[in-house]
Amino acid sequence: MHTPTNPDGTSLPPHSCDLIRQPVVPPTAQPPGLLSTRTALILFAALIAGVLIGVLTHLSTRDLAAAVLAGLAAGGVCIPALHGLIKH
């Protein structure tokens, strides 16, 4: 009867013939992204709110400069508000 051995020539313990010994490869470390998902969500929601307020302002006043300023102000105000609403 043949005794099972490891690739290095040492014998395997009893009842371990069906185990496959493979080297353990650590997972590759991925660098962290520039923004977290939470930050991206907050900025995207503020962008949407700013654009919406800007469009509504332009439709009501027909003044492009006022619409741009209103949209920027709305987006800027939304960022801290959303930061407080969306928890970690």
Per-residue pLDDT of the chain (88 residues; tens, 9 = 90+): 566 666 777 766 655 545 566 677 777 888 888 999 999 999 999 999 999 999 999 999 999 999 999 999 999 999 999 999 998 7
> CA-CA distance, 43 to 73, in Å (whole number)?
14
Whole-number Cα distances in Å, 50 to 29, 42, 54, 81: 37, 12, 6, 13
- Residue owning tokens 């907050």: 42
With a CB cutoff of 8 Å and minimum separation 6, the contacts of 42 are 79, 82, 83, 86
pLDDT score for 4: 64
